Amino acid sequence: MAAWRRAIELSLTDMDLERLKSITQSRTEPAGRVERARILLGYWKDPSFYAVSQALGLHHQTVQRCVERAAAEGAMAALDDRPHPGKEPAITMEAKAWLTDLACRKAKEFGYPHELWTTRLLARHARERGPAEGHVCLATLAQGTVCKILDQEEVKPHKVRYYLERRDPAFAEKMAEVLCVYRKVRLLKKDALANTTPGEAVAVISYDEKPGIQAIATTAPDLPPTPGVHPTFARDHEYKRHGTVTLLAGIDLVTGKVHALVKDRHRSRAFIDFLKLLDAAYPADTAIHLILDNHSAHISRETQVWLAEQPADRFRFTFTPKHGSWLNLIEGFFSKLARSVLRHIRVSSKQELKDRLMAAIDYFNKDPVVHTWTHKLDRAA
């Protein structure tokens, strides 16, 4: 004969009752918590396992286990599942470490033609080589499992993120020199606004080249937009190349005027032609101070010979550090030119491209924009 099931004394506070009622009415709580909350409220009203089980459509043993746990651990604790021990992991920690170390090396190191791993290739390699390395659990490794393991370790061997190594040991010193020039420009601008004659006549030019500007022609006419039919210009996919040109440009950082030349090639003689252009643009007693990079044309023997023939202190160069072109304000002008004039440009010849580039320079010089550098300017030595 089965033993008589005695009623268990269940004590619930007013706060417990309010929270249990709230859970039973919730639409976002997990179904298991809602069910156990109803069991405890039902047992609170009628302390009978059988009566509660009949009312809720459950087995009486389910009601009894829930009530016994609530009496021992508290009503709120009885609503959640007990932690389960879980299944023993099929892949050992040692195998995961071996796989992660493998992912941190390049695929080409293991005889593959691939530069980097793909998750599919990595999974196949682990299945083939893992057991021989003592990781038998990797014999059936799936690609999805590889992805999960690498995600846990935050390793993405199939991706490349680029960085720029600082190769100039004198980067800070050269940057300080450039910033000192910009600080001098700020003083020149203040003198210009105050109509004060500076102690020395100086023109500061931010200079660089934009090589490889392509002269591309269309093979069929562009079709204009048609309201309600075609919202954009239509252009044939085929095109014809006419070669490339190089734009040599410098901005006067006080006036904003752009000095420019367009050449077929970027050589020392082209740079000398630009210096001659500056020489003709400023009075003989004005010192021309250029901020430029370390391109070979700027420091070549041909350039040095030409500079030696000029009056003393006529030209002075301040070089940006290697990989420090962002310090040169002319880069902002080139970006503006690329986004406005060169964007989607099509020409019939190289000469047309040259003419349109010089026309763009004339257009910008009608309303010059004075470029100003402010970042870390006060830190300049």
Domain boundaries, the chain: 14-79, 93-153, 171-221+235-379
User: How many C-beta atoms lie closer than 10 Å to residue 281's C-beta?
Assistant: 15
Q: Give the span between the Cα atoms of 86 and 73, in whole angstroms.
A: 23
Give pLDDT, residue 379: 65
Residue 170 and residue 322 in contact, taking contact as beta carbons nearer than 8 Å: no
Structure confidence by residue, pLDDT tens digits, 274-318: 999 999 999 999 999 999 998 999 999 999 999 999 998 899 999
Measured distance CA(209)–CA(336) in Å, rounded: 14
Per-residue pLDDT at 144: 94
Q: Topology of domain 171-221+235-379, per CATH?
A: Nucleotidyltransferase; domain 5 (3.30.420)
**pLDDT for res 4:** 47
List the chain residues with pLDDT less than 70.
1-6, 196-199, 379-381
Q: Specify the pTM.
A: 0.68
pLDDT at 6: 59
Sole residue written with tokens 């643009």: 281
Mean per-residue pLDDT of the chain: 90
pLDDT for the residue 3? 45
pLDDT at 1: 40
Question: CB neighbours of 355 closer than 8 A, spacing ≥ 6?
Answer: none
Q: What count of residues does the chain have?
A: 381
Residues facing residue 234 across a β-bridge: 223
**Would residue 39 be called left, alpha or beta, if left means φ above 0 and alpha means ψ between -120 and 50 degrees?**
alpha
Report the candidate in 290, 245, 238, 248 with the shortest Cα–Cα distance to residue 270: 248
According to the model, what pLDDT value does residue 9 have?
84
pLDDT of res. 198? 61
